[in-house]
Structure 1
Amino acid sequence: MVYKDEYVLAFMDISPVNQGHLLVIPKNHYAYLSEVPEEIAARMFTIGQKLAKAIRKSGLKCEGINFFLADGEAAFQEVFHSHLHVFPRFKGDPFKIDADWSFSPTREELDEVAKRIRCSF
């Protein structure tokens, strides 16, 4: 256990990307981020930010920090209790996100997608 308050817990990941990899979770069960009340989701990220600062100050190998939250099976969520990964990064570490970064939508496509999201907000 690294952190605990009345809303969230933070603890070491048992399958870390890098040394210092933490998980921040709500104390109550919510499978998906959309189920987490806004104030608790905000708390997860606030504590994540403070833990990121602590990782940087800890002396662990750290050239950067990633926050990663997998929401749904297609997004690689394996544990269905919403959780925020906070982990140190450094050049040459094993974490990779592989995608086709060459796709460039047109301005019209971007505007249409933005409109669809805005109308569903």
Structure 2
Amino acid sequence: MYLKTIVNEILKKNNRSLSWLSVEMNKTFDGLKLSLLKGSLKYNDLILMSKILNVPPTVFFEETNPTHLLDKEALKAPDGEHEASILEMELKNHKEMLSTLRDQLKDKDKIISLLSK
């Protein structure tokens, strides 16, 4: 679930957007975003993404716990606050996934209506 957060962090450091990355990878924006949210990218896509972002592929696997992505104050916080920060990050990722899935449903409904004509 944290793959999107890692990629967003790299993109932000390089002043790039997720839409730029999707074009570079020859993927749809929604498809790439959903794959990152689900953590379901294929091996070849991870390798391609690491080349495009100019980072080693291991960056995507360094830690299973996203504490390296939190600010320094969150790391100093008591355990309850630290867990709350992680839960807030997960909630944000789930909301993004929900939004992406809703957008895909709208697109599919439009395609169905156009094909029905």
User: Normalization by structure 2: what TM-score?
Assistant: 0.26
The answer to which structure, 1 or 2, has the higher relative contact order (CA under 8 A, 6+ apart) is: 2
Structure with the bigger percentage of strand:
1
Higher helix share: 2
Q: TM-score, normalised by structure 1?
A: 0.25
